[in-house]
Chains A and B, each alone.
Chain A
Amino acid sequence: MECDNLKYSIVQMRITSRICHITALSGGRNGGAQPSLRQESIMRLLWGLAALLLVSAGCAQVDTPAQDALRVVLIPADGGTEDGTKADYQPIFQAVSRMTGLGFDIRVGQSYATVVEALCNGGADIAFVGPVTYLQARDRGCAELLAVGVEDNQSTYYSGIFAKAASPIRVIADLKGKRVAFGDVNSTSSFVYPMAMILDAGLDPVRDLGAIRMTGSHAESLAALVQGQADAAALSFDSFEKAVAEHAIDPATVRVVARSPSIPYPPLIVSTRVEAGLKAKLREAFAGVHKAPGVTSDMIRGYGGKKIDRYDTAFASGQFDVAGVVMAKLDDALKADILRKASER
């Protein structure tokens, strides 16, 4: 196959050089466009390069992952880079690989919705996602829990609504008529929980908030607050701590208006298509990965790259139902109204 390719390319090159010869000799009336000898050699070089590219693509050893490699998609849950997210999880997956003999093909994705689709149409086997993403995939019958990180015997985190310390906003009710920044519409802690808190406080986000800004990420919501583009911003505590650590914000200038109830930790989930024996093997490995040889406590990471103690594989799926109840407060019609309001000026 590859050699046919090569032959074809060489024939191509010969034809082209012949054309160039003929046209160079034939003269004609198209003056400036007439190829010179130098042009001819450059054209030959270009064709050669194109041929070389095609041949190298055909002949290249495609480094396909091992036959039984499981396709893993990681979502940098509250902002993060491809390499950073990989660095957070690769040591764990490498250890699991040593323990089980399974191969993993790890990719880093960007959108929650795409991961749900990938799990459901067979494009991914394992994913690290937000709690809401897990529930969306679970409700479609595509995914079940694999493992949840544990820190200080807890698997929870928090999000909050933040305002400037100097602003008059002290409780959620004060948000009436104010501009509030949220992250991604599928994000648990920068959209779903904060919106539910606003609903619980008796405000209608569409009618009562002055403006809704969908910034796309925790970081951009906080930036909108700092720059005065929003009066309040909804983001996770972890993201806020990251901003403080990077000196992007002085914590003294900001006030926590409200804290969310504890949110179940973003989980590792596995596609329902994965065979039961394999799932059991994976669960066993993740449960013991923190004690595996060659694994230091620094290598066990969870949401946002934070150090955690271990992975819990016996975590009851029902514990995510609290998030489901919160999620249900925001039906699709309300979300559509919110997005419409966000696009208004």
Chain B
Amino acid sequence: MTATDIAALARPSGTWHFPSPFGWRTLLVAIVAFMVLFRTGADVEIGPAIFESGKGIAAVAGLADDSQVARGFGTILVRMFPPQLAEITEIGRIAGFDRDRLPLFARVETQTLVVQSLDPETMRMVARATEREVLVEPFGYLRQVVAKLIETLEIATWGTLLAVLIGVPLAILGARNLSPHPLLVILSRCVVSLLRSVPELISALFFVLAYGFGPAAGVLALALHAAGFLGKFYAEDIENADPGPQEALTAVGSNRLKVLRYAILPQVLPQYVAYTLYILDRNVRMATVIGLVGAGGIGMELKGRYDLYQYAHVGTILIAIFVLVFAIDQLSSWLRRRLI
């Protein structure tokens, strides 16, 4: 307790006053913030969105009879269930089909199909019934989705591994207390910001041009963006590391590399593992999207099924992605628990 504090306590209680919780300055800030929010809220149309959401919830609860939001979600969500598990293939399209050696659990069915087409002359629908023989594999679609998810996971893993390999040197050059030259710090920070500023979906567009459609473009897109993130966070942790051990090592004549190894790494490793696991988690989620531009993963299957109006397939994919993300979350929290 300082002398002033004691003096304050000695004053009669009537002269005590608490610092007021807010003053005119707080009020001014609040008013300005409110005005900015009001203006930007109008720009992003948040008002109508909140209003429509409320109406949607009311409609679901049976309090309102019609809502655009409820209708929009409803029509698709209802058709996502039950999720699609089976794969149905026309037998005529399978090269070298052998009736006596069907795949495991598969069966042959004859389907009657009513095909409706729009006659270009009359512009009316014409219905025509056709029969077709199909091969039904009860879990065939699930198997395809799992295979695609494994590809997605592979893209994410490689994106993360490359991001670490690119991010670490950038972080070492970009950390003020470790970098060989201040100019390199600025240069490295510049590169790191540039990498982070290009979203994966956009860089994937360019990589698809250079490397062709396929997972390689996706891996590189994920790797570069994540390297921008890791380069920044790794570097900041190096700068925040306790200087004591570093000074001690420098005093006994250790070079920068030894300081990094023996004084900094042991301190920052747990955080590094946390960042890297976060990047893996993020890359898994992003890898499910980059398929939209043809860069591999499950995204293209998802968008394609949506465009084919096959919402039950979309349901299967969404559930599968959720299971994968949840599994990775569990795995990484287990790893963190063991490490920290």
Q: Which residues of A contact B (CB under 8 A)?
A: 19, 22-23, 26, 28-30, 32-35, 38-39, 42-43, 46, 50, 53-54, 57, 71, 73, 76, 78-85, 87, 91, 94, 107-111, 114, 117-118, 121, 123-124, 158, 160, 217-220, 226-228, 237, 240-246, 248, 251, 256, 259, 262, 294, 296-299, 301, 345
Roughly how many angstroms separate A296 CA and B91 CA in the complex, as a whole number?
Answer: 10
Partner of A43, one of B118, B161, B242, B269: B269
Query: Please, what's the 1-or-0 string for B106-135, where 1 marks a CB less than 8 Å from any CB in chain A?
Result: 000000000111101001010000000000
- B269: chain A residues at CB < 8 Å are 33, 35, 39, 43
Interface string of B73-84 (1 = CB under 8 A from A): 001000100000
Q: Which residues of chain B are within 8 angstroms of A42 by Cβ–Cβ distance?
A: 335, 338-339
Which B residues are CB-close (under 8 A) to A244? 116, 125
Give the distance in Å from the alpha carbon of A243 to the alpha carbon of B79 in the complex: 13
- Specify which chain B residues have a CB less than 8 angstroms from the CB of A35 in the assembled complex: 266, 269
Instruction: Report chain B residues within 8 Å CB of A78.
Output: 307
B326 within 8 A of A: no
Decide if B144 is an interface residue (CB 8 Å cutoff): yes
Instruction: State whether A227 and B68 are in contact (beta carbons under 8 Å apart), knowing that A53-B161, A81-B300, A91-B93 are contacts in the complex.
Output: yes
CB pair B209–A114 under 8 Å, yes or no, is yes
B213, A107: Cβ atoms under 8 Å? yes
Q: A256-B118, A299-B93 are in contact. Are A114 and B304 (CB under 8 A)?
A: no
- Give 22 A-B contacts (CB < 8 Å), ordered by A residue: A32-B270, A34-B266, A43-B269, A46-B273, A54-B161, A71-B212, A110-B213, A114-B293, A123-B209, A158-B118, A160-B118, A160-B123, A218-B307, A219-B306, A228-B71, A241-B117, A241-B118, A242-B309, A256-B118, A256-B123, A299-B92, A299-B95
Which of B92, B123, B265, B310 is in CB contact (< 8 Å) with A259? Answer: B123
Main secondary structure of the interface of B (DSSP, over half): helix
Q: Are A83 and B214 interface neighbours, CB within 8 A?
A: no
User: B residues engaging A (CB < 8 A)?
Assistant: 45, 68, 71-72, 75, 79, 89-93, 95-96, 115-118, 120, 123, 125, 144, 157-158, 161, 205, 208-209, 212-214, 242, 244-245, 261-262, 265-270, 273, 291-294, 300-301, 303-311, 335, 338-340
- Taking a contact as CB atoms closer than 8 A, the residue among B72, B262, B306 that contacts A22 in the complex is B262
Supposing A91-B93, A109-B294, A251-B116 touch, asked if A73 and B213 sit within 8 A by C-beta, the answer is yes
* Known contacts A35-B269, A42-B339, A50-B161, A227 near B307 by CB under 8 Å: no
| A-side interface mostly | helix
In the complex, A28 Cα to B242 Cα: how many Å?
11
B307 touches A296 (CB 8 A): no
What is the CA–CA distance of A244 and B116 in the complex, to the nearest angstrom? 7
Asked whether A118 lies within 8 Å of B267 as measured between CB atoms, the reply is no
Besides the known contacts A94-B95, A251-B118, A298-B91, 13 further A-B residue pairs in the complex with CB atoms under 8 A apart: A22-B262, A32-B340, A33-B270, A38-B338, A42-B335, A79-B307, A84-B304, A108-B300, A123-B212, A227-B75, A237-B118, A242-B309, A294-B95
CA distance A76 to B244 in the complex (A): 61
B307/A80 in contact, CB under 8 A: yes
Question: Would B209 and A79 count as touching, CB distance under 8 A?
Answer: no
